[in-house]
Amino acid sequence: MSTLDSRITDTKAILERIAADFTPAVFASSLAAEDMVLTDLILRAKLPIAIFTLETGRLHKETVGMIAKVREIYGYEIEAYRPETAAVDAYVAQNGLNAFYDSVEMRKECCRIRKVEPLNRALAGKRAWITGQRRSQSTTRAELAVQEDDPAHGMVKFNPLADWSEEDVWNYIRANNVPYNPLHDRGYPSIGCEPCTRAIQPGEDVRAGRWWWENPESKECGLHVVDGKLVRIKQTA
């Protein structure tokens, strides 16, 4: 059995265990390549794991288009959670539309309004949530565990692709004809909101295009952070 075959088998087993032991569980999809792998695995197996995305209001049209692509190919409607209109309007009125360029604090406040608060609503009442994070994506994720306690949300968090390489992800996508965001073909290995993501140059870190004006150590949006630190409080075997 190849390394990828072994990883697929392990990932399927993790997802099946989540479905059996942690219902209701949800998968938070960014609609990027890793998350399309998990979407394919979940929907092919018809697992009772709901899939949602955070529609921040500033995503690329190609990213938003992936919702329709999943509907077309899998017959599944990904639920979109959006920020509170009043909070967005207040931020823009007080600070300007693109205030996130002014400081890390202003950028994180934008992320809080557009991503963190909607995530909290999406996770309310759930026992576990799933992400497409991988260890090799960035220095901030080097210690990523497959299963973690998430004290911020009072539940278990799973990262089933933690030990997958980028090559694994793309080999799976190509072998299984999995739809993917066309921005990946234009130099975007990591995709977030449109103004906060750029294409990268050959040899750059895969997340170099995210919040490209900041230092690498600050490049997290708050979805996986508590009190300024990554949620790595307790890893569960």
Rounded mean pLDDT, 89-97: 96
- Comparing C-alpha atoms, which of 231, 223, 230 is closest to residue 56? 223
Average pLDDT, the chain: 89
Residue of higher predicted confidence among 132 and 206: 132
Rounded mean pLDDT, 15-32: 97
> Residue 49: CA atoms inside 13 Å, Cβ hemisphere, count?
31
176, 19 contact by CB (below 8 A) = no
Is 50 exceeded by the pLDDT of residue 46?
Answer: yes
pLDDT-above-70 percentage for the chain: 88
Is 70 exceeded by the pLDDT of residue 82?
Answer: yes
Which of 6-10, 104-108, 207-211 is least confident? 207-211
Catalytic residue set: 221
Rounded mean pLDDT, 166-177: 97
Annotated binding site for [4Fe-4S] cluster: 110-111, 193, 196
Rounded mean pLDDT, 63-81: 98
Is 60 exceeded by the pLDDT of residue 224?
Answer: no
206 confidence band (pLDDT: 50, 70, 90): confident
- Looking at residue 142, its pLDDT comes to 65
Rounded mean pLDDT, 44-48: 98
pTM of the complete model: 0.86
Is 80 exceeded by the pLDDT of residue 95?
Answer: yes
Query: How far is residue 69 from each of residues 3, 99, 182, 207, measured CA to CA in Å?
Result: 29, 32, 11, 25
Amino acid at 129: W
- Looking at residue 190, its pLDDT comes to 86
